[in-house]
Amino acid sequence: MASFNPNTTLGAYEIGVLTSYALFGVTTIQAYIYYGRFPHDSSKLKLLVAFVWSCEIAHAFCIGHTLYRMTVSDFAHPERLIIIPKSLATAVLFSGMIGATIQAFFASRIYGVSKSLYIPCLSWTLSFLRLLGSVAVCAYGFRAKTIPDFENRWTWLLNSLWSVAPANDLLIAARLVQCLYRQRPTGDNRTVALVDKLIAWTIETGVVTVTRQLSTAVIS
C-alpha cells in the first residue's frame, strides 16, 4: 500500500467515530430524560426506546472495535487496512436497524397528525429499503475479502443506502414542520409559542439526524 494516507483513512474514520460517540452521549441523555419524565407512557413505546438505545450501544461497540483493530492490533501494518473487519460490517447493520426504526416511528407520528397515508407510506418504504440495504451490505461485507473487492461490486449499494437515509430524514422533518405550521393557532400567544418551539425542535432534530447519517457514511 504505497499510496496509504492516514489522513484520509484512519484520520477520517477516527473523526467519524468520535462524532458518533458524541451523538451517542446525546442519545443516552435523551433516553434517561424520557424514562424520568414519562413513566406513564405505554410499555410498547418504552420498549421501542430501549431497543433503539441497545442497538446504539451495539453500534458504538462495533465501530470502537474496528478503530482499535486499525490503530492498535494492526499498528504499523497499513497493508491490513484493506481487509474488511467483521465489526465494521456489523456496525452497518445496526445503523440501518436504528435508522429504519426511528424513521418508521416518526412516519407513524406524521400519520397521526395529518391523517394522510401518502407521506407515511413513502417514508415507510424508504425505511424498509434502508434496512434491506443495510442487511445486504453487512452480508456482502462478511463475504468480501478486501475493501477494494467490495467497492468494485457494491459501491452503488453503499451510495444508494447513504442517499436514502438522509432523504427520508429530510422528508420526515419537512412534513412534520408543514403539519405543525398548518395547525399553528393565531390567538393564544402561549400556544403559538409552544407550536413554534415544536417546529424549531423538529428542524434541529432533522439537522442532527442528517448530520449523523453523514458521519455514519464516513465511518461505515
Which pLDDT value is given to residue 46? 95
CB distance 194 to 125 below 8 Å: no
pLDDT of residue 13: 85
Give yes or no for residue 31 having a pLDDT over 90.
Answer: yes
CA angle (163 as vertex; 24, 201 as ends), nearest 5:
50
Which pLDDT score is estimated for 219? 47
Domain ranges of the chain: 10-219
What does the pLDDT average to over 160-186?
79
pLDDT band at 37 (very low <50, low <70, confident <90, very high): very high
| pLDDT, tens digit (0-9, with 9 covering 90-100), for 97-136 | 998 999 999 899 888 888 888 999 999 999 999 999 999 9
> CB-based contacts of 98: which residues, under 8 Å, 6+ apart?
52, 55, 56, 59
Residue 220 — very low, low, confident or very high, per pLDDT cuts 50/70/90? very low
Please name the residues in contact with 153: beta carbons below 8 A apart, sequence gap of 6 or more.
Answer: 140, 144
* pLDDT of residue 3 exceeding 70: no
- Residue 94, pLDDT score: 95
Please name the helix (run of DSSP H) or strand (run of DSSP E) that holds residue 85, with its range, or none.
none
Average pLDDT, the chain: 82
Mean per-residue pLDDT, 160-175: 85
pLDDT tens-digit readout, 41-85: 999 999 999 999 999 999 999 999 999 998 888 777 777 778 888
Give the 3-state secondary structure of residue 145.
coil
Of 202 and 156, which is predicted with more confidence? 156
- Dist CA 176 CA 213 (whole Å): 19
Burial class of residue 3 in the structure, from the number of CB atoms within 10 Å of its CB (0-12 exposed, 13-18 middle, 19+ buried): exposed
Between CA 168 and CA 111 the distance in angstroms is 15
Given a cut of 80, is residue 169 above it in pLDDT?
yes
Whether the Cβ atoms of residue 189 and residue 155 lie closer than 8 Å to each other: no
Grid coordinates belonging to 49: 426506546
pLDDT attached to residue 1: 45
Q: How confident is the model at residue 24 (pLDDT cuts 50, 70, 90)?
A: very high
Please write the tens of the pLDDT for every residue from 133-155. 999 999 999 988 788 888 888 88
User: Which of the four pLDDT bands, split at 50, 70 and 90, describes residue 29?
Assistant: very high
